Amino acid sequence: MKSASDFFSKISPNGKRAWCPECDDGTSRKQGTVQINGEYAYCHKCNHDWDFSEERIQTPRVQYKLANTKVKVESREVKKSGYAQARDTFVTHWQKAVDELELPWNEKCLDLPIGVRRDDKKNAQLVFQINDNHVKFHKGPQFGDAECKVFETPHQSRSYLVICEGEKDLVTAYCNGASALTFTSGAGALPAKISLDDRYNKVYIVYDNDEKGELGAKKLAKRLFGKKVELYVMRWESKPSRYDLTDWFSDGFTMDQLFASCERFGDKPEDIGGMRSFSPSQFAETFVNMPEPIIEDLFFEKDIMGLAGGTNVGKSVMSLQLSTCLALGVPFLGFRIPKARKVMHVQFELKDESFKQLIERTAMHFVDKYPVEAERFEQNLSILSSGQNNVFTDKWEEMDANLTFDPCDVLVVDNLYTSTNKNVSKNDDVMDLLRTMVNLKNKHKVAILIVSHHKKLGEATPLDVSQMLGGSAYTNHLDGIVQLASSQRLPGLKVMKITKVRSQNDLHGVPVGVKLHNVSDGPLFFEYLKPLPKNEMFWYTDPKESVEEKVLQAIVTDGHNFSREMFKAALEEVVGFGSNAAVTNWIERMMKQGLINKIGHGQYRKMETELDGLVD
């Protein structure tokens, strides 16, 4: 056979181009017009071609085009890899190499471009020639063009194809009777184009038994979906982590057993990333059991619930009280708890030593109050040690690990702001954090209560979800929200309001009074009082500083009733003016605050505060 130098006097250094002796004098171009490819060459200018195995062809072949322009010789990088020597070694000593590496291979492995060498530790290492310019050391470096590409076996007259995670598994599949292919860049990588031979009607995807393998197999299956082949994905049952196809055959299992362990892919929309789909009857039959209440009419299994309030309102006390009541199975602020629950409580607000004191003052108050249920406290409540350690770093991965080690029914997190390194003022960060919470909830089948702060507001306003840090991106996703605010009316009086709930609750949107008992060095806990009378804003105003309160006190009444004229006289006494317009404005303002009520034309009544009856 002749070579290119027998036909061309001038060839480029890389051997890919030459100057045509028929149409190019070699002086007008930086590179020749002849494309050289192994045994053939073709001139793009005059359409002559040459076959180095024959005489020169005087007439061009019919529309001859070179599909692959890569030189079919050993590239510099392939030479550098030492593949040729590794191949000779493998051909000569393949049985010894297979035995040393404990591989379930037979002599069919010689059909594939495999070599073997000794690595730096003198261990046997497989070498695979992917193509003319790409060589891979098994679990080692690559040489040449390392772009992700397909590496496949010869066809074995079967209608099925096995796709493996790596070259070693590909050889194993081939030695055990299957046509196989793999991709050269690992489980998560796919080449730009994947084509399947029409002779295959079934494809079995057998990736390793680990997270990367599972995700990579699903990614590949989704890519192949719609290619008119039946797709199956291996589901490893009771196999150790990183178990692979080669381990399967080394353990004595067969190809038929392998196929029987694969599950059909693509029969359900969720296989390719869609949502589960049901007929109406299937839907009704599937979702029969409603989530059980954790706190009756307020907090349910699989919920994510928010507890929010301003600074020093008592959020940490209330969240610990809730955890304690759930662990004991006793009422929480008047709400019935149907059964005791296993609770995990984690807080980032206080030092652990300070939180220990809070446990003594808050949790132990209820343990002492309910002696029959007291033994459940140690059994059902676990407290994570994390107070003020690495705050504002992400703690959700650690909580995930704790829930894996010690499953529970409810996770209480105090609080949102210090549990993460996300900026809870940015929607994108909030959505990422919510995604983490939802994944954690679904993975561990746990309900979550998350404590959060209110924004800093200039003046008191009725409790509303818009006050919460995190914004609507956060509050819209919560299943329930309870908010707290301090009242100016009495020491320890707090306003609590359920501002969001997904079930019927008579107290939804109703401000109720709760008292924070704070005995010096004694119990520290909340007590439910009753729904608050009057307008909500009444409870946020300071009677010592309120001009409205001073006007109210100055009104001369008949019992609790008074006329417009009596109101006008009081207004003039307190603020120094009393025009008809001013009287009307002040009356309307004080009615909105719940201080007075209209009982007839020009007749009004002072509203009783009921403070004495509210708090003893």
Reduced 3-state DSSP string for 405-434:
HCCCCEEEEECCHHHCCCCCCCHHHHHHHH
367-372 contacts: CB < 8 A, separation 24 or more? Answer: 367/324, 367/328, 369/330, 370/328, 370/330
CB 153 within 8 A of CB 130: no
Q: Could you tell me the two tokens for 117? A: 């060498």
pLDDT tens for each residue of 536-586: 888 888 777 678 888 988 998 888 899 999 999 999 998 888 899 999 999
Q: Region 392-410: what's the mean pLDDT?
A: 92
Q: What are the pLDDT digits (tens) for 488-520?
A: 888 899 999 999 998 888 899 999 999 999 988
Q: What is the pLDDT of residue 54?
A: 52
The total of other beta-carbon atoms located within 10 Å of residue 270's CB is 10
- Paired tokens of 596: 């007075």
* The predicted structure's pLDDT at residue 247: 96
Structure tokens at 505: 């609750």
pLDDT digits (tens, 9 = 90+) for 156-196: 878 999 999 999 999 999 999 999 999 999 888 999 888 89
Q: For residue 25, is pLDDT > 70?
A: no
| C-alpha distance from residue 370 to each of 52, 321, 326 (Å) | 98, 13, 13
Q: What is the CATH number of domain 76-272?
A: 3.40.1360.10
User: Which fold, 293-537?
Assistant: Rossmann fold (3.40.50)
Q: Mean pLDDT of all residues in the chain?
A: 88
Residue entry with tokens 């507890």: 307
**pLDDT tens readout for residues 271-311:** 888 888 888 999 889 888 889 999 999 999 999 999 999 99
Q: Do 420 and 435 touch, CB atoms closer than 8 A?
A: no
Contact between 586 and 577 under an 8 Å Cβ cutoff? The reply is no
Spans of all domains in the chain: 1-73, 76-272, 293-537, 541-614
Cα–Cα distance measured from residue 71 to residue 276, given in angstroms and rounded to the nearest whole number: 51
CATH class for domain 541-614?
Answer: mainly alpha
> In degrees rounded to 5, what are phi and psi of residue 355?
-70, -30
pTM of structure: 0.59
Write down the pLDDT at residue 417. Answer: 86
